[in-house]
C-alpha cells in the first residue's frame, strides 16, 4: 500500500521530474509535465503531472493555489488540441487505496484513441 499522507521524494514521477529517469515527453512548461504512460491501456495513454510536490488529489485540491490548479486543465486542453483528439477521451485520477493509486505524486491519465467502454469492468 502506498503512503499518500507525506510526499516521498523517491517516487518514480519525482525521479522523472528531476531528470533521473527518462520519459516520452509531450509537453513541458513551468508548472506541468506531460508524458506517455509506459504501460498504455489505450492507443493514447498520457500522464499529466504538476511539477510541485502533491501526493494525491486530496493534497492538491486542499493545498494548491488556483493558478497551479488551472495549469493542469490548461495543459490538458493543449494536449488534446496538439494531438488532435477530436472524438473524445477519458480523464482519470486514481486516488488512494480504493482508487488503486500506484504512484504517490498526483497524476491525471488521459486515455483516447478508441471507444473506451465502461468506466469499471467487473
Ligand atoms: P496510478 O495507478 O494511477 O498510480 O498510475 C500510475 C501509472 O504510472 C501507471 O499507468 C503506470 O503505467 C505509469 N508509470 C509507471 N512508471 C512509469 C514511467 N517510468 N514512465 C511512464 N509511466 C509510468
pTM, rounded to two decimals: 0.97
Question: Across 3-71, where does the E strand assignment appear?
Answer: 25-28, 32-36, 44-50
- pLDDT computed for residue 122 by the predictor: 63
Q: Does ligand 1 lie within 6 Å of residue 100's CB atom?
A: yes
Cα of 38 from ligand 1 centre, angstroms = 6
CA distance 30 to 20: 18
Q: What is the pLDDT of residues 90-117, one digit of tens each?
A: 999 999 999 999 999 999 999 999 999 9
Q: Does ligand 1 lie within 6 Å of residue 91's CB atom?
A: no
Q: Is 105 a catalytic residue?
A: no
Amino acid at each position: 500500500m502506498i503512503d499518500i499522507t507525506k510526499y516521498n521524494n523517491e517516487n518514480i514521477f519525482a525521479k522523472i521530474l528531476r531528470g533521473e529517469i527518462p520519459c516520452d515527453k509531450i509537453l513541458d512548461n513551468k508548472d506541468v509535465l506531460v508524458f506517455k504512460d509506459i504501460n498504455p491501456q489505450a492507443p493514447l495513454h498520457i500522464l499529466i503531472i504538476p511539477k510541485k510536490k502533491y501526493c494525491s488529489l486530496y493534497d492538491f485540491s486542499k493545498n494548491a493555489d488556483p493558478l497551479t490548479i488551472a495549469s493542469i486543465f490548461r495543459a490538458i486542453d493543449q494536449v488534446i488540441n496538439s494531438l488532435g483528439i477530436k472524438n473524445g477521451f477519458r480523464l482519470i485520477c486514481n486516488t488512494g487505496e480504493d482508487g488503486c493509486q500506484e504512484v504517490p505524486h498526483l497524476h491525471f491519465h488521459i486515455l483516447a484513441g478508441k471507444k473506451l467502454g465502461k468506466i469499471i469492468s467487473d
